[in-house]
Structure formats: C-alpha cells, structure tokens
Amino acid sequence: MKPIVVLTEGESQYYAPLLGALTQHDAPYHVHLAAPGEGLAAALAGLKPLGYAGAVLEGARLEREATRLVARLEPEAREAGRVDLVVPEWAGLRGAYLKPQALARLLEAHGFVGARVLWVGAVRPELRLALRGVRLVHAVVENFPEGEALLAALPGPQRGRVAVDETRGAALAREADVVIYGGGRFPLAVLEPYHTFIALEPPPRDAYALVANSFAPAAWRQVHLSLLVEHLTGYALPPEAFHLE
C-alpha cells in the first residue's frame, strides 16, 4: 500500500475522513498524520525517497511556506500563494492548491454558474479564483481596502461594490443570489430567505434558519477532499464518501 501523509499545524480535520474513505473503498493507500512544526522542508524532501504518493497540507502557515519548497507550482497555487497538495515527481515536487477549485465545483454542482454573489466576512483572497464562473461579486467586509483589493483582482464585468456597514451591506445583499461567508464578523441582516447561503467557516447559529437553502462548511470541505484524493490517487470518490464531524 502506498502511503499518503497529512501534514498539519494542530488537530487535523482531514486525516480521519481521508483514512475512512480510502479504507471503505479498498483503495491501496494508507494515510499517515504528522505535525512537521518547523521541519516542513525535511518532511517534503522525504516524500519521494520514502515512496509517498504525496502530502496534504492543513494550515495557512504550511500552505504559504510550501510555495518556497516545491520545484513546480501549478498556476492556481502560484496565483494564490498557497499549496495544499504536494506530489513527488521525477523532476521534483509539484505543488497544487485545490481549495478554489473545490468552491467553484460546489457552485457549479448546484447551478450557480453565472450567479450574483455577496462575499461576507473575512476576504480570503486566496480563494478568488473560485469566483471566475459567477456574474457579479459584491463584498461586505470590515476592511474597505481589503474588499476593494478582492474585487480589483476579478475581471471588470464581475466587479461589484464594497460595503462595511450593515445598512449598505443589506442593500447589496438584495442584488445577490448566493451569500458566501468567509469567517469573521457576519451581519445577519444581509441574509434574505431567497438566498443560498454557503458557509466556509462556522457562522452564527441563527444564520441557517434565515434562508431556505444552505451549505455548512463540511460541504465545501468534502468537495475539497474529493479533489485531493482524485489528484493524488486517480480515484474519483464522491464528496459524500468523506465523513466530517
């Protein structure tokens, strides 16, 4: 069985779901867990000599640090400045960043290509590539320059407006089909019953009750896990194969 390692900064959210899904589907892979601390370079350098299929990286610091340690970055990883998957190849280590693709696939799977999006809370610029398939993006954030920077990175026709106060945010929300929550402060007044609500981080408890259609953070993470396994092993396991608490 070929090993895969999950490298994490703390308690892993991905180790148990990966191990469970691969075991249940009799995939010839075994999942290990390690916390490399300051030794990420050594951990990645050992992947090929030790016969690992690759490494899944959990944690913002590891994702950023890995960009300096791999021989080849895929375009999405280079643009985001993050790596969440490292694969050893004959020419060296290849780094990918699949979280934006996971969010884009979640939007696509539920018919939101061409939708109008309201981004709320933490800006998460590393995920902006996920928004390439939508029609328009507004942002309700605490820091106006950060919101402007997020929209400035999008193609001109997609750029909406930025609000930092609840009243203007609610006005922008009425123009949106989908509300994406990136973490941090979340004004509940932006939610309307007709919105689809996608939470990338745990939202205030009352948020889900305000909309008819919603996705908890586990939905996005399940798609992400499915993509990680597909890139690592070639096995196309469905998102629901990964059981997250």
Report domain extents, the chain: 2-97+219-241, 101-211
Q: What average pLDDT does range 151-176 have in this prediction?
A: 94
Q: What average pLDDT does range 77-82 have in this prediction?
A: 96
What confidence category does residue 138 fall into, taking pLDDT thresholds of 50, 70 and 90? very high
Alpha carbon distances (Å) from 152 to 156, 160, 185:
8, 10, 22
Taking only the tens place, the pLDDT of each residue in 218-234 is: 999 999 999 999 999 99
Q: What average pLDDT does range 186-213 have in this prediction?
A: 95
Assign 31 to helix, strand or coil: strand
CATH 3.40.50.620, applies to 101-211? no
Do 118 and 173 form a contact (C-beta atoms < 8 A)?
yes
Do 161 and 118 form a contact (C-beta atoms < 8 A)?
no
Pick the CATH number of 2-97+219-241 from 3.60.15.10, 3.40.50.10860, 3.20.20.10, 3.30.70.20: 3.40.50.10860
Alpha carbons within 13 A on the beta-carbon side of 216: 9
What is the pLDDT at residue 10?
87
Element (H, E) at 62: helix 60-66
Taking only the tens place, the pLDDT of each residue in 8-60 is: 998 999 999 999 999 999 999 999 999 999 999 999 999 999 999 999 999 99
Instruction: Answer yes or no: same fold for 2-97+219-241 and 101-211.
Output: yes
Task: Report the length, in residues, of the chain.
Answer: 245
CA 187 to chain centre: 22
What is the pLDDT at residue 1?
84
